Amino acid sequence: MIHLLPDPARTAAGVAPRFLVIIRIVTAIAALVCLALATLVHGATVVGVDVNPQKVETANAGRSPVKEPGVEETFARARAESRLTAATTLGSTLADADVVVACVGTPSCEDGSLQLSYVSSVSEEIGTAVRQRSPECRPLLCVFRSTMLPGTMETVVLPKLSAAAGEPAGRRYEPVYNPEFMRESTAIADYFTPPKIVVGERFPGAAQELYGIYDGIDAPVFQVPFAVAEMVKYVDNYFHALKVSFANEIAGLARISAVNPTDVTRIFLSDTKLNVSPYYLRPGNAFGGSCLPKDVRALGAFGRERGVHVPLLQSVIASNTAHKSFIARLVLAHAPKGTRILQMGLTFKPDTDDLRESPLVELAVTLLEQGYDLSLFEPDLKPEQLVGANLAFAHAHLARLSELLVTDFARAAARADLIILGKAMPGVKMPSGKEFLNLYRL
């Protein structure tokens, strides 16, 4: 674990590193936990700032402004040791602070977009305080933990900070985005056992001094650009909501079928190979084959027939169709008219000759309809061995299949202007100097 580097002057004087946490909304559990743990675990002196005087009065009395297990006791202990105070304004509290943690609200507007006025104003306040600090102070670590959409640090926080501070980041302050992954009612436990630690920074190593906050905590650490860290927080929250909605819609279908939803869920969750695992969660091509499209349509139809509203389940096919359209647009954007294209892969997955509802077949059809010179390399496929529904699908969608297929990859690749990898082909060596588009891993 990387340690927080102490200020030599402060250490020599026996003064603990100082935290400043800005909290502006009652439900800022992350801010409260930062306050509590900074005082208890890291021995810091903490000043909590909030515009709500009632919350400030409560904190100064050693009580937590919200109900959260463990926070009240920590506040009381910190106040008793004179390591926690609260105020309604920044004042001069940043004059000799080491770290400022901003946990302001990002509420929804009527159209669902985020209101960033609090983020904007607190960035300006911190920047102004930086300008007023002594030039001899070490750079102020400015940690933002509000849930913000990708691009907010770059387009809102950094411009506001630099304008108010009178200079760009680096010499007198360093902005960091460190999203929290804590849940209400278990926030302190989640702090000590997080699933991950994500740090968004201007460049690798810029946020080095932040890691002392997590000293002794065993969790994977991801040092990433600002936008990645911002996006990860939203992906987590959205996926959690998606799981709840999925489980509830499946339960609705189960009940209408006189099936116990708990039994179904228990069996579903027991599968940690495919269901509760990284499988099917890596961005790439659309799904296809003889099972998934058919079964997704069937379950949606089953719900409609029985009057069960399952909007999430019924949106899956539409989402898959939209993704296939996106893939086609992506390829066309890389292929000016007259481009000779070599498409690697036609079946819906490796090690099968199943063409049914393969998104790669649809892509090939689109490219042919657009008039491209197309060749297909598919080592999993032998047209003379196709039978039954698979053969019928091939005839219906790619009547010229046999003449489009090539077996000499090196020769076909040398002729091509653009090579499209539609699925994994680990045994095939890609040529150098060719334009290459990987649809298997976007």
**How does DSSP classify residue 383?**
G
Q: How far apart are CA 279 and CA 333, in angstroms?
A: 29
**Other CB atoms within 10 Å distance of the CB of residue 244:** 10
The CA-based angle 316-321-326, given to 5 degrees, is 125
**Other CB atoms within 10 Å distance of the CB of residue 311:** 10
Reference 29, options 56, 57, 63, 68; nearest CA is 68
**Residue 100 near residue 141, CB atoms below 8 Å:** yes
Q: Which residues pair with 24 in a beta bridge?
A: none
Reference 419, options 349, 352, 345; nearest CA is 345
Where b means 16+ CB within 10 Å and e means fewer, 64-99 reads bbbebebbbebbeebbeeebbbbbeebeebbebbbb
Reference 386, options 422, 421, 425, 346; nearest CA is 346
**Residue 414 near residue 431, CB atoms below 8 Å:** yes
CA distances from 423 to 39, 343, 359, 407, 442 (A): 52, 10, 11, 17, 11
Please, how many CA atoms are within 13 Å of residue 267, restricted to the half-sphere of its CB? 5
Which contiguous run of DSSP H or E holds residue 267? helix 261-270
Q: How far apart are CA 172 and CA 392, in angstroms?
A: 69
Q: How far apart are CA 49 and CA 20, in angstroms?
A: 8
Q: Has 291 been annotated as catalytic?
A: yes
Sign of CA dihedral 250, 251, 257, 262: positive
Q: How far apart are CA 175 and CA 109, in angstroms?
A: 26
Would you name the residues annotated as active-site residues? 291
